Structure 1
Amino acid sequence: MKIGMRKPSIKKSISARTTGRVKRAVKKAIIPGYGRKGMGWINNPSKAMYNKVYNKTTFSFCDILKSLLK
């Protein structure tokens, strides 16, 4: 498990902001319950637990900028 700052990746950041929007819209139209809060714990509890711990123990470069600009 990683602790500390995540390695920044411009390519992944742009990809997450663009391609995911269309895929999420299609899945939400087809799969009932997709995108609802807590569905990760139902579908894959071990992955949901890992992601929760990972997001609490790591931070990104953008998080640092946001806290400095406040």
Structure 2
Amino acid sequence: MKFGMRKPSLKKSIKARTTGKLKRKIKKSIIPGYGKKGIGFIKSPKKSIENKIYKKTTFSIWDIFK
């Protein structure tokens, strides 16, 4: 498990900012439970727990400037 600062990825950052409202709206209408809190744990509990621990034990470079 990683501890400390996460390595920033410019590609992922741009992708996250440019995914549009329309795409999310379409997915929400097709997939029941899309975008709802807690669905990740139901789908894949192990992955969900690992992601939660990773999020709590690491920080982003942008967190330093907040």
TM over 0.5, shorter chain: yes
Structure 2: distance between partners of 1:43 and 1:24:
19
Q: Counterpart in 1 of 2:17?
A: 17
How many residue pairs match? The answer is 66
- Could you list the per-position Cα deviations for residues 6-52 of structure 1 after superposition, in whole angstroms to 9, with x for gaps in the alignment? 01122211111112654432211101111111101101001100100
Identity level (%): 67
Q: Which runs of 5+ in 2 are unaligned?
A: none
Q: Helix, strand or coil for the counterpart of 2:35?
A: coil
Question: Superposed, which structure 2 residues align to 1:30-49 within 5 Å?
Answer: 30-49=30-49
Structure 1 segments, 4+ long, off by >3 Å, are 20-23
Q: Which protein is richer in helix relative to its size?
A: 1
TM-score by length of 1: 0.82
Q: Counterpart in 2 of 1:59?
A: 59
| 51 and 32 in structure 1: CA distance in 2 versus 1, 3 angstrom threshold | same
| 26 and 55 in structure 1: CA distance in 2 versus 1, 3 angstrom threshold | same
Q: Pairwise CA RMSD of aligned residues?
A: 1.5
